Structure 1
Amino acid sequence: MRAHISSLILLIGISSSIAQTNALNCSFEDTVNLTLSQKFMNGSYLYERVIVPPELTSYYDYIERYGGERQIVTRHLRGCVCYLKPCVKFCCHPRAGMTQSDEDLKCDEEVSDELLYSPYVNITLRNGSRVLMNVVDEFVVQTGMPCKTLYMLEPHKYDADKWELFENGTLLRVSDQMYFSTRDYCLQAYPENGTYMLDPMNCMITNDIPTRIKRNTIVLMISSPFLYATILIYWLVPELWNLHTKCLIGYLLSLAIGTTTLVVVNMMNADYDDVTCAIIGFGAYYFLLAVFFWLNVICFDLWHNFRGTKGNVQNLSLRKRFTYYSVYAWGVPALMTTLTILIQYSNLPNNIKSGIGDSHCWLKMDDWSAMIYFYGPCLFLVIFNIVIFYLTAKTIYTIRKEIRRFSKGADSQRHLHSQQHNFWLFFRMFIVMGINWLLEIIGYMIGENSDFEILIAVADFYNAAQGIIIFVLLVMKRKVLLLLKKRIRKSDNSLQLSERQNTKTNASTVELRNLDVRTKLRN
């Protein structure tokens, strides 16, 4: 009971901390640094001739680079300016040049008095028409490079480098129909044959995987075989077959397949085409959703058994109950996955799509899309399971109290011992299969906040190592090991008996042949 109360308090505290740090319902790419901006008495700020009201400002301790990668920086004030006026991204100050220093690109500190290039660019409007606009005057100018390794699009040289800029600041690379927000590109002027040209710069595509993902992938690779081993052992031992075990195998199977597909995504994320990426991503999404629904089924079934009511569910046969459980645990994730696919390939704005198969092989983790499609529903189920855990603990405590008060018989004591054993089994499973997912959700909500770096690392390792922990709890028990040993011996005995029968059969055949030969010789 203390475990789930502490977790709830921790979740509330972290959520409050996140809310204070970043209270804006605004993508990072739509914000600008207001540290050097003029502040008015009413709390508003002036940035590029745009008044930013105080409700559109908040403090950040990170910046986002290409692909949503967060970089921890000094806490600073930012404003959601791009909600008030469209933004466009420049690599450097619009009147500053760029130089190559060693392997890095750097902006010149010297700023010229006037623009050395024409700021007029054909802007594509919502109706598809194109208008020549001054991007420096008609847009709010953001500055910064999205990554360290950039290359220039040069449409005057290469047809593959053609691009379009939309009125909301989004850039389209025509050759592969890739769309980039202001977070993932920047414009820069450069000299070409004695004149200056203005073109966008894109990030070099690399296969480098962040250290955190590498670490988690390694642990998942080690942990996943233990999940399959647990499933195999429980399937091989008939004495362990019951409704609870079947539900547990459903949980373990969905978890094993889900984690395996995540390992595949993490190891070869950049090597898949869009179709393959979508298939793997939605497959992982479905099975990981099923994990939470099977966990919900396990908690409900245990609570229902302890509660001991005579309702409709109790009167059903075990086969029908498992059928209903399966329809719920496999069916609801299927409906959610179908809905997510339909939204992903609809004409709705990209900021409310999951991103699976488009910009990612997994959910977008750089905005709240993952919260809408995955972590939000899962958080609801985890909280529901915590409530069930509390009710189950309360029920068992009541049963224990009644048995001790009204009955001293051996049967009652055995019943009490059985209830206590089941409760502690439930408690251990809840800690492994419930708290770890709560920590995973908390880790997502925290993001890359350096203040909770140790907590995030512990939560990641605990969640990734779930297969090993479950194997130890479910398989490395005296009862299970004895049953497994008995099963192996039974198989060996059956094999030996079969070999003896084959030997006897062969011997009988040889004797018959010898008898037949002797009979022929006599004749």
Structure 2
Amino acid sequence: MFVATTQLRRFLLCVFLWLLTQRGTCGAYHEEGRYPCAFIDTVNITGSYSMGSNMNGSYLHNWTVIPRELVTPYDFVIENGIRVPAVRHLRACVCRLRPCVRFCCPAGQFYQLETRRCVDHPEVPGHSHMTVQLQNGTQLHQELGTWFSVHVESPCDHMRAVTKDSEYLHWTLHENGSITHREHHFTKHYCFTPLLFGNSSWSWQPLACEPEKLHFVLGVREWTYAICLLICIISMFIVLMVHLTCSDMRNSFYGVAVKAYMICVIFGYALLAHLTLHDPANLSSAACRIIPSFALLFLVLSFYILSFISFKLYLSFHGVVLTKLMFWLILIPIVIIAIGWSFYVGFSYHGAKLVLGGDTCWFDPRNWTVMIYFFAPIFIACAISCFFYILTLICISEEPDVDSEKSFESLERNRLKSFWKFFSYTALIWFIYICSFAVNYYREERSHLNYAVCLCTAFHGFAALYALVGKNQQIQNFLRRIEDNNDEDTGENSVHMYIY
């Protein structure tokens, strides 16, 4: 017992001494994860001279003494607003000690916008001005280094020169390191580089990053999109009401599937309209993730309901009849999968940012997440629908023509035609959506194709009215019966009034 107690005391003493040593070791470093300034205000000082305990562990970097509390080990870097793992290194908040002026490349190089990298000046005739600019760059670095901390680094990949009427602007460099030209103001996300004026002279100009945060704008484009969404919602609601009142469609697999599709589209477009008209800054973080997740759920699920209809039409020409109960039995597991997918996307990260719930409460248009998480599942659903459509056409081609207009096959053929007209319109509209995203992504700004997207959204509702109501024989017969009954009621009332 005594030996065990002695060993326990020795063990606790060893643990205590080890903790003390770890505390002494960590005392020279800040707790990892706590950073004293923004990453863009730091500079890599790995290899800089450490002044030791005489100067409280300060560092000397480019003749600037950096206190130890402004130095932190990093195991990542920020590239284009995304956190990327990197080899552990020391970074210091140099821009907190002296205002930073930022250059894209070291002295003697310039930033080439086409390749997005620093290159040496071209050794070809006619570029003597460029040589002078690069030589002046070294002198400029030295002069600015008297008042500023010269920060040499391109802050992002997507940089551009700000112009007006195809001419470069004249910028003012302030004492705090920011640059301004009237309404344009950049504090950090810029860097100077020589750019060509015309074909003869060069001038030092700042290249500015695309905004890290997408500012909310409620302009003509946004209102147009919201109005077109509302028009589509109203049209889909009319189609839903017609199918609800039609007794022939109410309890069939096809009718229930169409109604479920309409409900999904109505809710999905309504949520998109809500996100379009509301500033993400005024939404809570939970709402900014839940609302787009449900919009994703409803819109993706709507396309898989279309694939169910295509599958049902294929089975109909093989003599297989699916009931309303079968639709719900098929739909429930797909709904569970869709909920799991939207939940997964809502908690997924692209780099260091959430896929949903960022600057727009929707997919970030500056990356390809919308293609992976949104358009890819829709494309798979469309491929499934097209597969069953091709099989259905093969089945029809192998059967003899049906003469009886009241036969079951004739009714299914009419459903097939009306449904695939609507599906073709829907697929075309969403293809335009994808093209609009691709154009905006490569141009790095919105284009006029966005207005075509708005009009296509309204056209989606009109296509539903035209194909699912106007071209559906059952719906048309139902509407004619209602009209005939109204005419008969009107005639009877007229006779009663005349007799009276």
- TM normalised by structure 2 equals 0.54
Distance 1:413 1:452, change over 3 A: farther
Give the corresponding residue for 1:434. Answer: 427
2:267–2:298 Cα contact (<8 Å) kept: yes
Give the corresponding residue for 1:470. Answer: 464
Distance 1:452 1:264, change over 3 A: closer
Distance 1:412 1:236 in 2: 24
Offset, 1:330 = 2.1
In our comparison, the structure showing a higher alpha carbon Rg is 2
Question: Match of 2:329, as an amino acid?
Answer: Y
Give the corresponding residue for 2:279. Answer: 269
Question: Match of 1:238, as an amino acid?
Answer: S
Distance 1:141 1:389, change over 3 A: same
Give the corresponding residue for 2:259. Answer: 249
Q: Does 1:304 align with 2:304?
A: no
Distance 2:211 2:412 in 1: 63
Q: For residue 360 of structure 2, give the secondary structure of its aligned residue in structure 1.
A: coil
Distance 2:163 2:273 in 1: 26
Question: Match of 1:427, as an amino acid?
Answer: W
State which of 225, 233, 258 in structure 1 corresponds to 2:234: 225
Q: For residue 217 of structure 1, give the secondary structure of its aligned residue in structure 2.
A: helix
State which of 411, 415, 425 in structure 1 corresponds to 2:418: 425
Distance 1:335 1:237, change over 3 A: same
Q: Does 1:325 align with 2:335?
A: no
Distance 1:205 1:187 in 2: 17
Give the corresponding residue for 1:483. Answer: 478
Distance 1:385 1:357, change over 3 A: same
Distance 1:374 1:287 in 2: 11
Q: For residue 136 of structure 1, give the secondary structure of its aligned residue in structure 2.
A: strand
Q: Does 1:115 align with 2:144?
A: yes
Question: What is the correspondence of 1:479-518 to structure 2 with a 5 Å cutoff?
Answer: 479-484=474-479, 486=481
Distance 1:202 1:339 in 2: 28
Distance 2:455 2:140 in 1: 48
Give the corresponding residue for 1:13. Answer: none
Distance 1:284 1:147 in 2: 39
Distance 1:445 1:147 in 2: 25
Offset, 1:246 = 0.7
Distance 1:274 1:365 in 2: 19
Offset, 1:235 = 0.7
Distance 1:257 1:395 in 2: 36
Q: Does 1:391 align with 2:391?
A: yes
Distance 1:483 1:184, change over 3 A: farther
Offset, 1:226 = 1.2
Q: For residue 286 of structure 2, give the secondary structure of its aligned residue in structure 1.
A: helix
Distance 1:492 1:184 in 2: 74
Distance 1:371 1:434 in 2: 15
Offset, 1:394 = 2.2
Question: Match of 1:480, as an amino acid?
Answer: I
Offset, 1:274 = 2.2
Give the corresponding residue for 2:183. Answer: none
Cα shift readout 1:39-72 (whole Å, capped 9, x = no counterpart): xxxxxxxx8369x9xxxx9x9xxxxxxxxxxxxx
State which of 348, 351, 359 in structure 2 corresponds to 1:349: 351
Unaligned segments of structure 2, at least 5 residues: 1-78, 83-103, 119-138, 165-173, 177-185, 193-208, 490-500
Identity percentage of aligned residues:
15
1:217–1:263 Cα contact (<8 Å) kept: yes
Question: Match of 1:424, as an amino acid?
Answer: K
What is the CA RMSD across the aligned residues, in angstroms?
Answer: 4.7
Distance 1:204 1:29, change over 3 A: closer
2:314–2:389 Cα contact (<8 Å) kept: yes
Give the corresponding residue for 1:88. Answer: none
- The number of equivalent residue pairs is 328
Q: For residue 77 of structure 1, give the secondary structure of its aligned residue in structure 2.
A: coil
Distance 1:331 1:492, change over 3 A: farther
